[in-house]
Amino acid sequence: MTDELEERIDRAVDASPRVNFLPEKVRHRADEDRPLPIPRNQTNSQPTTVRDMLYLLEVPAGAKVLDVGAGSGWTTAILAELTGPEGSVLGLEIEQELVEFGSANLATVERPWASIQQAVKGKLGHANAGPYDRILVSAGTRKLPQELVAQLAPGGIMVIPVSGQLWRIEKDAAGKSSISRVGQYLFVPLR
């Protein structure tokens, strides 16, 4: 991790205060470094976990990003700050209540190059809008979903929790994937 990447992430997180992406009843806990409850028995991820995922993802300006499990919209907003207006971020969420909650939260930061949409049950990602330079998955799975790997552009990176570990999948220019595994993490399940 470079100092420049760390500074970019710090600026993006600072420009997207977590407190603005939490339900009113838990906003007083926004500074806690732990997951916090949001509607539909889901959570707003622990800040250090979000930072770890962003470091692994290495989002460049201008990237086309898919945010699977957008929840409260917090990571979608941070990703949009990292891509800048020359990029785009599509957040997907399976729960309609969270699509509305996350979209309302995202609107407060005025990054029109980012949006949150309803995910299609039984399908992962949004293949028709891909391929993506970066894919962030904020829900755990037992095995790597090839459906998402297929939506990753050559030269792209995906970060996803698999069996309690963060996996970083990199696709080379020829489309061949390599995997590195980092640390133990706990996430809500990918559905």
Give start and end residues of each alpha helix (H) in 70-145.
74-83, 96-107
Rounded Cα distance, 132 and 22, in Å = 28
Where on the phi/psi map is residue 157: left (φ > 0), alpha (ψ -120 to 50), or beta?
beta
Give start and end residues of each alpha helix (H) in 20-171.
47-57, 74-83, 96-107, 146-149
Cis peptide before 131 (omega within 30 of 0): yes
Rounded Cα distance, 70 and 102, in Å = 7
Q: 103 Cβ partners below 8 Å, 6+ apart? A: 73, 115, 116
Rounded Cα distance, 178 and 115, in Å = 29
Q: Which two tokens stand for residue 191?
A: 């559905």
Residue 72 a catalytic site member: no
Query: Considering 45, 72, 103, 115, which one is annotated as catalytic?
Result: 45
Rounded Cα distance, 93 and 107, in Å = 16
What are the residue numbers of the active site? 45
